[in-house]
Amino acid sequence: MKLPGIPVGPHGVAGAGHPGGPETRVDVFLDYMCPYCQKFERENGRTLQHLVDGGRARWIIHPVAFLDDASNGTRYSSRSAAAAYAVSQLAGTRFGQFHNALFAGQPHEGTDGPSDARIAAVAVEVGVPDAQAAQLTDPRYVTVAEASTASAVEFGVDGTPTVLVSRPGVSKVYSWDGSTSIVQLVDALAQAAPAATRMGAGAR
C-alpha cells in the first residue's frame, strides 16, 4: 500500500535524501494538535534528523487529521496538515523549520487553534516567501491531507503518534508511548532483519 507522506532529507529539506537511500525507513504518523505528537517531536525529532543527515535512515512524516473535533469546528488538524504538505511542495527547504514551528505553537485541545492567516504568518516567519505562504489553503493541499488521513486509517493507524520502522523483509508498527527512543526502535529492527538482508543482497 502506498502511503502519502513527506520525505525529510538532510537539514530538514522536504523531498531530499541520499542517493538510493538507506535501507531503514521511519514513517511517523502525527497530528499537529496532538500533545503526544509534540512530545514525540521534542524527544526524537533531532535524533531522526541526525539519522537522516548521517545516511542511517529515511524519515517520512505523515500529517493526519485525527483531532479535528478538538478544535471547536475549525478543523485545525486538517488545516495544519494541509499547510505542511503545501510547504513541503512550495518551499521544501523550509519544511523542517515550519514543522518545528507548528509544534512549538501547538494549541491546546478544545481551542480554535491558529487561523489560516496565522499559519501563513508562521510560514513567513521561518522563511517561506509571501507568495508561497499565500497558497497554503489551496484546495489541492487539503485534498492531499485528506488522502493522507484516509490512507493512514486504511493502513490501520488508529492514534498518533504511530511509528512504522521498516527494512527490506521486516517491519514493525509502534504506538509510541515515550518508553523507547527512536534509535532503540531502529536498532531493534536491524537485529530482527533476515540474515540475508543484514549481510547484503548477495548473501546466501
User: What pLDDT is attached to residue 199?
Assistant: 29
Q: Answer yes or no: is pLDDT of 69 > 60.
A: yes
Judge whether 22 lies within some domain.
yes
User: What pLDDT is attached to residue 193?
Assistant: 60
The residue among 185, 178, 199, 200 whose CA lies nearest residue 25 is 185
User: What pLDDT is attached to residue 18?
Assistant: 61
Judge whether 1 lies within some domain.
no
The CATH number of whichever domain residue 95 belongs to comes to 3.40.30.10
Judge whether 149 lies within some domain.
yes
The residue among 59, 80, 93 whose CA lies nearest residue 144 is 80
Write out pLDDT tens, residues 32-62.
999 999 999 999 999 999 999 998 899 999 9
Average pLDDT over the chain, rounded to an integer: 90
Write out pLDDT tens, residues 72-94.
999 999 999 999 999 999 999 99
Q: Answer yes or no: is pLDDT of 197 > 70.
A: no
187: containing domain: 6-199
Q: Exposed/middle/buried for 171, CB within 10 Å: 0-12, 13-18, 19+?
A: middle
Mean pLDDT of 120-146: 97
Judge whether 18 lies within some domain.
yes
* Secondary structure, 3-state, the chain: CCCCCEEECHHHCECCCCCCCCCCEEEEEECCCCHHHHHHHHHHHHHHHHHHHCCCCEEEEEECCCCHHHCCCCCHHHHHHHHHHHHHHHCHHHHHHHHHHHHHCCCCCCCCCCCHHHHHHHHHHCCCCHHHHCCCCCHHHHHHHHHHHHHHHHHCCCCCCEEEEEECCEEEEEECCCCCCHHHHHHHHHHHCCHHHHHCCCCC
User: What pLDDT is attached to residue 186?
Assistant: 87
Judge whether 113 lies within some domain.
yes
Judge whether 204 lies within some domain.
no
Q: Number of folded domains in the chain?
A: 1
pTM higher than the cut 0.85: yes
Q: Answer yes or no: is pLDDT of 177 > 50.
A: yes
The confidence band for 180, taking pLDDT boundaries of 50, 70 and 90, is confident
